[in-house]
Structure 1
């Protein structure tokens, strides 16, 4: 398989799938199209014990069809018990993983209202939380978020609530990131083919940690590509969210 035959969106699906590698029997709660495809790819291949949801209260099968209902009472029990790995979006995210999905601008007079805090605080303090950003830019990757919805490493440490706090990875349309930089700061793990490290740094509003030469995001196998194209997303919806 050559890199030119794989689209940017397909690299993103694979990178999101990798977030659930080795998780075992947990509730995979992807919020967004590409994360949903990634969770289903993970269950099809290297994480067969995942329990898939639509990101809210429905249980879904490998083809995305509804298989059951997960009442919020039980859903939240799994959240507080740590048996869930959610991949959320982010209106803003900073170097330590503080995430904002509430508002842009000053809290008392915001320039833009977003979703609200919702379940982000309890998610980040009780079970693994990864993030998906379909449009990587300095407006999203910021030095300081306007409001903290999801709790980052620095604030979790200050509050002494790090026991169950875990932010495994961030995936954007440019690359993959974790928080193994100095002081649990964001580190560039890989860039998608066709993207340079300089492009990622220019689109990020803070200094990214780097560890030597940054590799490319891994290529999907022939089997994974077949699953993505023929089983998981035959309608090619992925290319509407991520363009090469």
Structure 2
């Protein structure tokens, strides 16, 4: 029987929430981009969905996920088989992949931006470019993790650069329907959200301890749907925390967030 933890950090709460995104995925390739999503994917693979496949982010499929951060000199990762780019693309195009990324902007259509901020012809900030986000968003499930929920991330209007397919009818590719676009969930320091509200509106799935609806709306650049009942985000279990500590022995998770909500330790 799982034992609920009495003390945990906000980062650990977000990791466990993100890990739950993969519970019913079955055998899929999971990619967590960033420290918290990477730990969350590993946690899911070692607990709630042991059918998950993960790579070492280079060319090997792993039978067990690697820990994050510096590893001992004698560490040997548990390679299962080769997983080069051609096989990655096979997974992407087949839909048998679930990615959690960290966009710089998300708009009311669930479109995301990792490319640039400001006018596209002369951006204020140049970032990664669109990378694989267009193909990812149209081929398989995607979730997002945002360390600091604010109107700078959840923007009014459209993203400065639209890098993903979302639920904007004016941008939906010919021959596609909204049912084929799978923006699964969004995890932030305030709560868990999805785009299954009325007319694909972003809605609250759960709020972290001490967080209010008013706080969410103040930090979101567009209206958020508020269901009649809003649960509190499920607390980590002691078993989950033990796995997290094993995957993140240097506590890199603690450096990813600035603030904790009331009632959750630092």
TM bracket, shorter-chain basis? over 0.9
Aligned to 1:62: 65
Structure 1 pair 172–80 and aligned structure 2 pair: CA distance change class (3 A): same
Give CA-to-partner distance per residue, 1:128-151, whole Å, 9 cap, x none: 011111121110001221111011
Aligned to 1:12: 14
RCO higher in structure (CA 8 A, sep ≥6): 2
State which structure, 1 or 2, has the greater radius of gyration over its C-alpha atoms: 2
Aligned to 1:211: 227
Give CA-to-partner distance per residue, 1:20-77, whole Å, 9 cap, x none: 1110000001111101111111111110000013456543423434625421111011
- 2: CA distance, partners of 1:89 / 1:55: 16
SS at match of 1:188: strand
Tell me if structure 2 keeps the 8 A contact 1:3–1:193: no
Gaps in structure 1 of 5+ consecutive residues: none
SS at match of 1:76: helix
1:28 equivalent among 12, 27, 30:
30
Aligned to 1:147: 161
- 2: CA distance, partners of 1:225 / 1:242: 17
- What are the equivalent positions in structure 2 for 1:127-146 lying under 5 Å apart? 127-143=140-156, 144-146=158-160
1:180 equivalent among 193, 196, 210:
196
TM-score, length-scaled by structure 1:
0.92
SS at match of 2:130: coil
- What are the equivalent positions in structure 2 for 1:63-102 lying under 5 Å apart? 63-64=66-67, 65=77, 67=79, 69-102=82-115
SS at match of 1:183: helix
- 2: CA distance, partners of 1:237 / 1:215: 28
Structure 1 pair 73–93 and aligned structure 2 pair: CA distance change class (3 A): same
- 2: CA distance, partners of 1:203 / 1:151: 23
TM-score, length-scaled by structure 2:
0.85
Tell me if structure 2 keeps the 8 A contact 1:82–1:164: no
Structure 1 pair 63–55 and aligned structure 2 pair: CA distance change class (3 A): closer
SS at match of 2:161: coil
1:190 equivalent among 195, 203, 206:
206
Structure 1 pair 58–97 and aligned structure 2 pair: CA distance change class (3 A): farther
Structure 1 pair 21–2 and aligned structure 2 pair: CA distance change class (3 A): closer
Shift of 1:5: 1.0
